[in-house]
Amino acid sequence: MSASSHERCKHPSLVAAMLVVLAFALGFAEFVLIGITPDVAAGLNEPLTLIGDLVGYYALACAVATPVVSLAGARFKRFNLMAGLLVVFNLGNIITLFVDTYAVLTISRMLAAATSGTLLALALTYVPELIEMRKVARVIALILAAFSVSSVIGVPIGTMLADAFDWKAAYVAVLVCGLAATSVLVALPRSGHAEVQPSIRAQLRLLGDARVLVNIAMILAGAASTYVFYTYLTPALEGLMGFGPTAISAILLVFGAACVVSNLLSGWMANRFGLRGLPASFALHAALLALLAITIPQGVLGLADIMAVGLIMYVMNSTVQMLFQEVARSDYPSAVTFSASLHPMSFNAGIAIGSFVGGATVNASGLLATGPVGALLALAAAGFAVILSRLVARRQHKVVDSAKKLARNA
């Protein structure tokens, strides 16, 4: 942590906690619709599938807007950019409370989606500056855990609120979380702009680095492998395993707890193994997904397999996020904020791909096929992880060799 950070931020642990709340609010806003789709469809008198499409549109909007907003916003101080994006995010959620047509609902959700990925990226770029280096991986893991678990915990919370009141009550909860997250601005340092304003071309040079491109491909495949199955987890629990609504809510909450542990494991793995642990973790993920076709009809064994998938599905998060920032800070310093946006962009694109592939799989072969198809994507991610490890090792060897040559010539 720099001296300037110490001067400007007296309570880094409190700031870290606020950034965790922000990440949860961002994820809650994205995924809450999954649990209230029938209520929204009935309230707006629209087809169920039309409302359901908004989940995919949100992920796509986030994937597209995140790099664009991050590149365009690099000319501003990070604090000012975060403040402005939080205003837009909360405005989108406020508009949602007053919608009475599908068109306005779409606009309000796209407003929130356009800010989500960049806000998460900004939160992550503050961590190395405000937190001791030995705790960076752990805090990044907590932030990403908050975002990930909101996709599971936020869904039943939204469903319960919609059942008790109205579907808009779920978005009242989203707004409350968003406003609470905005309090992070009180404690953040009013700094974060580069001495030389970076051009978009200078930032885009980051995408010419093979390590970055393979990391993106790995995240895409890894996220898609998860969401081929997860998108249809609730129908599988109901249609294949015979659980009712109450039991499904309880199972999803336990699954959410497994996802929290998965993200915490990602911090431990990043510190302990780094990239070396990713090929094995993706291979294990593939095996667990493939086994679902056999275990789900067995009841308890299927539940155990599902929870094991939850424990492994996010272990890549801290490692891939830290790699993006390490590459940027060492070789492309003008693209640090842009580098942090690549993880949420890639993950959301993976969600969209996984949801589409999952739908096509269900239509063609049924719910039981989602696990094995997801396993194929997880194996692809394992292959990318092997390639990435070799690229990073090769780069490190070049740096060491260059240092030795300089030492000999000195």
pLDDT tens string 338-347: 887 888 889 8
7-190 shares its CATH topology with 198-402:
yes
Q: Which residue has the higher pLDDT, 128 or 349?
A: 349
Compute the distance between CA of residue 324 and CA of residue 328 in angstroms, rounded to an integer. Answer: 6
Q: 336 near 328, Cβ under 8 Å? A: yes
Which of 1.10.760.10, 1.10.220.10, 2.60.40.650, 1.20.1250.20 would CATH assign to domain 198-402?
1.20.1250.20
What DSSP letter does each residue of 131-159 carry, written as one string?
Answer: S-HHHHHHHHHHHHHHHHHHHHHHHHHHH
- Residue 401, pLDDT > 60, answer no
Domain boundaries, the chain: 7-190, 198-402
Mean pLDDT is lowest, of 69-78, 175-184, 209-218, for 69-78
- Residue 400, pLDDT > 60, answer no
What's the pLDDT score for residue 410? 58
What's the pLDDT score for residue 42? 87
Residue 196 is classified by DSSP as S
- Residue 246, pLDDT > 90, answer no
Residue 47 backbone class (left: φ over 0; alpha: ψ -120 to 50; beta: rest): beta
Mean residue pLDDT of the chain comes to 84
Rounded to an integer, the average pLDDT of 108-135 is: 83
Q: Which residue has the higher pLDDT, 141 or 107?
A: 107
Q: 277 near 319, Cβ under 8 Å? A: yes
What's the pLDDT score for residue 407? 54
Q: 322 near 137, Cβ under 8 Å? A: yes
Rounded to an integer, the average pLDDT of 367-396 is: 93
Q: 294 near 182, Cβ under 8 Å? A: no
Q: 48 near 41, Cβ under 8 Å? A: yes
Rounded to an integer, the average pLDDT of 70-75 is: 79
Residue 313 phi, psi (nearest 5): -70, -20
pLDDT band of residue 405 (cuts 50, 70, 90) is: low
Compute the distance between CA of residue 271 and CA of residue 262 in angstroms, rounded to an integer. Answer: 14
Element (H, E) at 286: helix 278-295
What's the pLDDT score for residue 1? 42
Is 91 buried (19+), middle (13-18) or exposed (0-12) by CB count in 10 A? middle
- Measured in residues, the chain has a length of 410
Q: Which residue has the higher pLDDT, 380 or 394?
A: 380
Is 147 buried (19+), middle (13-18) or exposed (0-12) by CB count in 10 A? buried
pLDDT band of residue 7 (cuts 50, 70, 90) is: very low
Is 277 buried (19+), middle (13-18) or exposed (0-12) by CB count in 10 A? buried
What's the pLDDT score for residue 6? 43
State how far the alpha carbon of 284 is from the alpha carbons of 315, 329, 392, in Å: 11, 32, 23
Compute the distance between CA of residue 198 and CA of residue 329 in angstroms, rounded to an integer. Answer: 14
What's the pLDDT score for residue 191? 58
- Residue 307, pLDDT > 80, answer yes
Compute the distance between CA of residue 354 and CA of residue 232 in angstroms, rounded to an integer. Answer: 10
The per-residue pLDDT for range 178-213, each reduced to its tens digit, is: 998 888 777 776 655 444 566 778 888 888 899 999
Q: Which residue has the higher pLDDT, 55 or 328?
A: 328
Question: What CATH number has the domain spanning 7-190?
Answer: 1.20.1250.20
Q: 313 near 53, Cβ under 8 Å? A: no
Output Rg (C-alpha) for the chain, integer angstroms: 21
Residue 48: count of CB within 10 angstroms of its CB: 12
pLDDT band of residue 388 (cuts 50, 70, 90) is: very high
Compute the distance between CA of residue 105 and CA of residue 57 in angstroms, rounded to an integer. Answer: 12
Element (H, E) at 243: none
Q: 291 near 307, Cβ under 8 Å? A: no
Q: Which amino acid is at 299?
A: G
Rounded to an integer, the average pLDDT of 294-299 is: 92
Percent of the chain at pLDDT exceeding 70: 90
Structure tokens at 390: 């070799």
This prediction's pTM:
0.75
